[in-house]
Structures are given as structure tokens and as C-alpha cells.
Amino acid sequence: MPPHGVALAPNAGDYGVSFLADTSAKVFVAGHSGMVGSAVHRRLAALGFTNIVGRTHAELDLTCQPAVDKFFEAERPRYVILAAAKVGGLHASSAAPAEFMTVNLRITTNVLAAARRCGAVRKLLYLASSAIYAEDAPQPIPESALLSGPPAPGNEWYAIPKIVGIKMCQAYRAELGMNAIVATPNNLYGPRDPFPPEKSHVIPALIRRFHHAKATGAAEVVVWGSGAQLREFTHADDLADAVVLLMEKYSGHEHVNVGSGQEVTVRELAETVREVVGYEGRVVWDTSRPDGVARRVLDSSKMRAMGWEPKVELRDGLKKLYESYLRDGAMNNVKA
């Protein structure tokens, strides 16, 4: 019997076919060049999948419904992993709220509609985000906390399209019988995490800032807030493992949280990044700046009940991310 609250797919897969045994099937990874999509692509390739399809934005604009329809009609993938999204930190979404709302809503509606119409898709997995949960959600946050309150201020421009995506998958399942499932990861990091100041999340922002200070000999690095807030970080490779497991085992109506359980304060995170980068100056905490939500950790017991366990320790993941940052030319560009 499956664990309580976990709906397993029949015969470990749909239509009597295990996803992991269907390695010759065409799998469309939307957003394959991004942090999450590239991790999923690498994992599928390592598992022996031979027909993984991806398109860059220049090749396929997912916000254009006719282009998406044409792609699905021509390619007819059997599986779809929807990792494409317009992403960025709080500053990025607050600076362009209309763009974040419009782009993410269009991507979701276009891909779901085209996947349904083409008639070839057996299963679709949509990537949501922990930003969907209310600021005062219980900790650790269970899946049932969805819509218990509004998202944290500033997060709504990204969170609301993600909530719509979850509900659209549920609606397509209820009305049209489409096997659409949803994974909801917490704060992610890993290779291809964007580093530009206007786009980056907390980890790449800290790496960039400490590297800049080290390269220029700055005496101190200023970090916003008190550093007391607690955060959970999950490596993209661990999320990719969870995606594969969900494609293999899960066909439930409810979204599934995916969080590492590795909870640290932002102060501890900054200190670890400082050590990884090798910066020896001072860290100054600007307490005039807001901390944001005091704690945000997911209840991922549903995911763990399926056998998923994260493998990448935070320090190891940060080391590899800094190495990739250096490989991508940071030594020749020390702009903060």
C-alpha cells in the first residue's frame, strides 16, 4: 500500500508503462537550458533516455500559442516536464510585475493547452515554487497550506502565476483526464543559476558580492537584514532526482513539496559562501533593511515517503557553484 496521501501511478507508470523503462520515448523538457531544466536533462540522459527534446527561447517562444501548438503537433512528445519560467529575485519581479505575471501565465496556459490538444502526451509535470505559500503559513509548510493566505509581499507577481499553474493542472485532470502533476520546490541553487544583479537569487548574489570584494580588495561586504531568518536550500540535481521519481511513481491531484530539509540562517549561509569564495574581509549586516519571512521550510514528508532523499550537502553544492561561476568568466568581470 502506498503511504497515506500518496497516489501512485498504476504499475509504477501510466498506461501500464514505467516512465523509467520508457527510455526511447520522446521527453520534452521545457526550459532545458535553465538551472532546473538542464539538471533534469542531465539526469534523464544519465538514466539512458535517448529522445530528450529541448528548444531555446530563440527556437520556440513558449508565450506564443501558435508556435507552441505547431511544436507539439510536429514533435508529439510522450512526456512533458515544464521547467520553463521567467525567474528572478524579489527585486526583479517587483521591478517588472506585469512582465512576470504575463510571461509565466502564458507559458503555463500555452504548454498545457497544446499538450492536451496534440493527444500524444501521457504525463506532464509542472514545476511550481514555494513562493505560493502565505507569509504566515505553518512551519514546516504542508501542501494543504496552499491558498491559506496571500503570498508574501513582493512575491505575488511570481507566486500567483504558479498558483494558477497548480490549479490548471488540477482542472485539466478533473475535466479532461490529463495526467498532470506538480512539484513544488523550495529555494533552489545549482549550475546555470543566473548571476546578473537584476536576476539573481540570494546564493548567486552572495557569491557575486563576495567574489567582487575579494577581487577588488574591499574591506567589507554589506548584506541586507539581520541574517537571522531561516531558509531551506535544495540543489537542482536533487530536484531533478525528485522529478524523475514523481514521473515514475506519482499521479496524484495534489502538488508535492520538494525541500532538502537543510535549514540554515542567512547569516550562516553568508558565512559559508564567504569561506567558499575565500574572502577575508568583514561582513556587515544592514539591519535597516527588511529580513522578509522569518522562516520558510517545506514539509516534504510526502516526497520522502516515495523514497526521495537529497544527496548534495550545501557546502559541497556552493563549492561547485563557485567553480562554475569562475569558469564562466567571473575572474574577468568583477562588477558587483
- Residues with a catalytic annotation lie at 158
Considering only CA atoms, which of 108, 126, 123, 249 is closest in space to residue 185? 126
Q: Are 122 and 14 in contact (CB under 8 A)?
A: yes
State the cell numbers at 153.
Answer: 509581499
State the cell numbers at 272.
Answer: 559559508
Q: DSSP per residue over 311-334, as a string?
A: ---HHHHHHHHHHHHHHTTGGG--
Alpha carbon distances (Å) from 213 to 89, 273, 278: 21, 12, 10
3-state class of 86 per DSSP?
Answer: coil
Report how far residue 252's alpha carbon sits from residue 82's, in angstroms, rounded to the nearest whole number: 17
Cβ atoms < 10 Å from Cβ of 105: 17
Per DSSP bridges, beta strands 17-18 and 13-14 are antiparallel
Q: DSSP per residue over 22-40, as a string?
A: -TTS-EEEETTTSHHHHHH
> Which ranges of 119-250 would DSSP assign to H, the alpha helix?
156-176, 202-216, 236-249
Considering only CA atoms, which of 252, 253, 249 is closest in space to residue 308? 249
